[in-house]
Structure 1
C-alpha cells in the first residue's frame, strides 16, 4: 500500500526510534537489540510489490520493474522498540523501520516476526520483515 504522507519519515522515527518516556520505564530507554548488527534484514510488501534487503551498510531496493534492484548506502539506527535504516534512493530520502510484531502480507500464508514501514520521498510503503536468524514461517515459495 502506498500513502503519501509529507512528514511521515520524521514522525516514524520519532515514534519507533526514540526512547519512550512512560511511568516506570527509564527515560533513557533500552536500545533495541533483537537484531544483531551483522544480520541481513529483509523488508517486503505487496500492492505494489517491493523488497528492501539490508546487509551491513548496503540497501538493495527491488520491484517487479527493477528486479536487479538499486543499491544505496544505508545507515542503521535503533530506538527502544525497533530498528531503523536511512539513506537516499534515486535522490529521494528513505527511512525504513522494523518493529516487533506478527505480520502477514495478506497473500502468501507466511507469518513474519516484524512489521515494516518505509518512507520514500513522499510515499509510505507498509509490509513485513524478517532477518537471517528470525525468518518468516510458512511456505518458502507460495
Structure 2
C-alpha cells in the first residue's frame, strides 16, 4: 500500500514540476511537427511512442500490444494501460502511465510535450520523459514510433 501511495505521490509531484518548467517552449515548426506526429499516432488507432534515456541507457516502447522497459542488462514487460492526462489540458500535453509489473512494483512514466535533447546527439525530440521505479528516477526524451 505504501508503494502504491508513494508512486502516485511521485507521479503527481513529477507532473507538477514538469508543468511548471518554462524552458520547454517550442518553435512554430517544432510545435507543428509534434502535432503532426501525435495526429499520425491517433489516426492509426494506436498510440506508439519510443522513450530513450542516456547516462544510464534505458528505453521504453509503448504500443497497444504492451509497454516494454529495457536497459542493456534487463527487460521488463507491462500490459498496455491508457495514460492519465492532466486536467484541463489537451491529451497530448502530459501523459502519465502507471505500470504494474509481475512483481507488484508500480512504476510511473511521465511524458510531457516539449522540445528535448538526449545530450548525446543533435536530435531534437518532441517530448521529454521521466521514468520512476522505486527510488530510481530516470530522465529522457520521447517521440512517436
TM category, shorter: 0.5 to 0.7
Q: CA deviation at 1:39?
A: 2.3
Further displaced range: 117-126 or 7-16: 7-16
Aligned partner of residue 106 in structure 1, secondary structure: coil
Contact 1:82 1:99 in 2 (8 A): yes
Q: Which residue of 2 aligns with 1:87?
A: 99
The one of 77, 89, 113 aligned to 1:71: 77
Task: Give the alignment of 1:62-141 within 5 angstroms.
Answer: 62-66=70-74, 69-75=75-81, 76-79=83-86, 80=89, 81-89=93-101, 90-132=103-145
CA RMSD of aligned residues (A): 2.6
Contact 2:11 2:96 in 1 (8 A): no
Aligned partner of residue 108 in structure 1, secondary structure: coil
Instruction: Give the TM-score, by structure 2 length.
Output: 0.65
Q: CA deviation at 1:71?
A: 0.9
Structure richer in helix, relative to its length: 2
Q: How many residues align?
A: 111
Contact 1:16 1:97 in 2 (8 A): no
CA distance in 2, matches of 1:73, 1:109: 33
Unaligned runs of at least 5 residues, structure 2: 1-5, 20-34
Unaligned runs of at least 5 residues, structure 1: 18-32, 133-142
Q: CA deviation at 1:73?
A: 1.7
Contact 1:44 1:127 in 2 (8 A): yes
CA distance in 2, matches of 1:59, 1:10: 21
Note the alpha carbon deviations across 1:92-124, whole angstroms, 9 max, x for none.
Answer: 211111111111110122110001111111221
Structure richer in strand, relative to its length: 1
Further displaced range: 70-79 or 39-48: 70-79
Q: CA deviation at 1:43?
A: 1.1
